[in-house]
Structure 1
Amino acid sequence: MKNWLTLILGLPTAQATERMRAWRALKACGAAVLRDGAYLLPDTPACREALATIERDILALNGTAYVLPVVDPDGARFTGLFDRGEDYGKLRSEIEACRGQLTADTALASTRLVRKLRKAYDQLAGIDYFPGPPRQQLDAALLELETAVSRALSADEPQGQDQPIARLDPGAYRGRTWATRQRPWVDRLACAWLIRRFIDPQARILWLEQPQDCPADALGFDFDGATFSHVGQRVSFETLQASFALQAPGLERLAALVHYLDIGGLQPVEAAGVERVLAGLRNTLSHDDHLLAAASALFDGLLAGFAQEEHAHD
């Protein structure tokens, strides 16, 4: 047996704008169309709340709206109305098209498209009430695309290693040379900022043409074989943060932002704007020291803003 909710609505024919608004709200929550003015959703708390909101909005416009329970003794009579296979297929085509056009030159532009594809996938998955293989396959394809874009944008992107993270004393890492790959992107820029801000204020940052060029006495970061790099699902920024047990107001939010911009995942609201600023800086500043200085000012501002928001919610 399966419980459902149906919304029966009616709006004056003259209120085309309100009718369109109600239709968009129903589409956003994934309602199936039974017939004109009749919509169906599974009986879940989230769907019940969504239909109650639409019902209130319609009644406020002097329309008619009834949310009624429906019981399906067989349990599967209506599930076919919620098949998202066609929608997943369209997204899959866009993912494949993006992958086919991906080069080192198009990588920055591709990151913006990938963010949109990830957002579209998350919205679709949120209304996929009966998920199956198409959802899993699309998620895997999107993860592969995100990894490919990251590697096209940043050659020699490190692989995550499964290993324990030792707790280190920042005092033993002062006045050192730290080395990473040249033409840095988000994770390397954020790591260099983190090192100078919290670990080694006098750090000398060395930009390597190739990871193999790292001097024996330098502390490498964000490349395979470096002292500090990706560990498990942590990006290099998070590895440094964990290694030195760094804690500061706003730092966790900044780490989540760097994580998303480097390897994807849950999108922070600031991500698109920060990515755009960093991409602009990278395109206009050819000297890596100058790029780091500009990016560091951005990270300082973000940390201060995040800290202020945390303080306001205490």
Structure 2
Amino acid sequence: MMRKNERKGAGWLIFFYSVPSRPVSNRMKVWRRLNKAGAIQLKGAVYILPFNDEHYELLQWLVSGIAEMGGEAAFVRVAEMDTIKDAEIIDLFIRQRAADYALTGKALDDVERRLGSIQKGARAQHIKGISAQFSRLRRDFDEIRKIDFFSSREGAAIDGRIRRLNSELKVLFGTGSGREKQAALEPKNAGDYKGKTWVTRKRPFIDRMASAWLIRRFIDKDAAFGFVDEKEPRGKKKDSVAFDVRGGEFTHVGDMCTFEVLVRSFGYKDKALKKIAEIVHDLDTKDDKYKSAEAKGLEDILIGIRKTATDDGDALERGMQVFEMLFASKG
């Protein structure tokens, strides 16, 4: 099955180039860029990619870069090719990704063997080493999935194995089980929280930024926010709601961060929200429960916001914008 941005009828991008034979590193640079983008070599220095805006822009940059190397490059968009059918081109992509997934499968075999030895009584301190190996493997897998334009069966099979291993690692770390128990939360109705001022701690960061975004995006588009010191005494006020503060109405419960508590309390089931909740959890609790590949990059951006914001309100608003874009990317 093809993805939306590589849907049937979108066409293809054919790229061809030549660079001077010296230095050899220039040819390798071009090859690496094309390989990382998922391009398939048709013959010689002729490559093909499914058409989308991202691929089009990449090839524009490659043409410029090759010109600076003293070489020549060009690309064309075609609806179809005369000498090869679309189905045959798609099969070329699937076979290339199958080769990539085969390497991932071998790495998974090793992780499964190591995990089996621990489950049979090997030293427990080896679990962290296996977890680190698994995290690297999953990052590599995520990179392959990005260029698996036609959603190969091999990718789905590897994804299933990775999910099973992830569940087993959670059990060993004590962060999950076959049926992970979650704290009971009282269901909430968004209509009861309109027109409120949502109060949280000063110097907002990951969990508070994400929670504020969720509040304004799903609970009350006109929500106002206020900030208090952690030690400042607070009585429950009719027109305000405290979140991510000690004793607040919405705060950490069990191993759940505030964002997760809000999602569950209001019963939101959106898949993009679930993914964001996993990222926020890993960043806020530091337990690497979900091993989110996007976590570090998001954290760096939010640190930059915190350092450059004029005040807490500015930091919160800019953080919410980041989560809005993250939500759009996951939708």
| Category of TM-score, reference length = shorter chain | 0.5 to 0.7
1:153: Cα distance to partner?
Answer: 2.1
What CA distance in whole angstroms lies between the structure 1 residues aligned with 2:288 and 2:154? Answer: 26
1:112-143 CA deviation, whole Å, 9 max, x = no partner?
11221111111101111111321112112111
Quick one: which of 266, 277, 283 aligns to 1:257? Answer: 283
Q: Does 1:143 align with 2:170?
A: no
1:72: Cα distance to partner?
Answer: 2.9
**Conserved in 2, the CA contact under 8 Å of 1:88 and 1:138?**
yes
What CA distance in whole angstroms lies between the structure 2 residues aligned with 1:36 and 1:303? Answer: 44
1:65: Cα distance to partner?
Answer: 0.2
What CA distance in whole angstroms lies between the structure 2 residues aligned with 1:88 and 1:122? Answer: 11
Q: Does 1:31 align with 2:31?
A: no
Quick one: which of 232, 235, 245 aligns to 1:198? Answer: 245
**Structure 2 runs not aligned, ≥5 long:** 1-7, 119-123, 189-243, 267-276, 319-331
Structure 1 pair 304/128, CA: closer, same or farther in 2 (3 Å)? closer
Identity %: 18
Q: Does 1:88 align with 2:104?
A: no
1:154 aligned residue: 174
Quick one: which of 96, 102, 112 aligns to 1:99? Answer: 112
What is the TM-score with the length of structure 1 in the denominator? Answer: 0.60
1:58 aligned residue: 66
1:263: Cα distance to partner?
Answer: 2.3
What CA distance in whole angstroms lies between the structure 1 residues aligned with 2:298 and 2:161? Answer: 22
Whichever residue aligns with residue 60 of structure 1, its letter is E
What CA distance in whole angstroms lies between the structure 2 residues aligned with 1:63 and 1:35? Answer: 18
Moved more, 3-12 or 65-74: 65-74
Query: How many residues align structurally?
Result: 227
SS in 1 for 2:87: coil
2:49 aligned residue: 41
SS in 1 for 2:17: strand
Question: Could you say what the CA RMSD is over the residues aligned between the two structures, in angstroms?
Answer: 4.0
Whichever residue aligns with residue 137 of structure 2, its letter is L
Question: 1:1-314 alignment to 2 at 5 Å?
Answer: 2=9, 3-70=11-78, 71-72=80-81, 74-82=85-93, 83=95, 84-102=97-115, 103=118, 104-154=124-174, 159=180, 161=182, 165-166=186-187, 198-200=245-247, 228-229=253-254, 235=256, 238-240=259-261, 255=281, 257-258=283-284, 261-269=288-296, 307-308=306-307, 311=314, 314=318
1:265: Cα distance to partner?
Answer: 3.9
1:10: Cα distance to partner?
Answer: 0.5
1:156: Cα distance to partner?
Answer: 6.3
**Structure 1 runs not aligned, ≥5 long:** 168-196, 202-220, 222-227, 246-251, 274-301
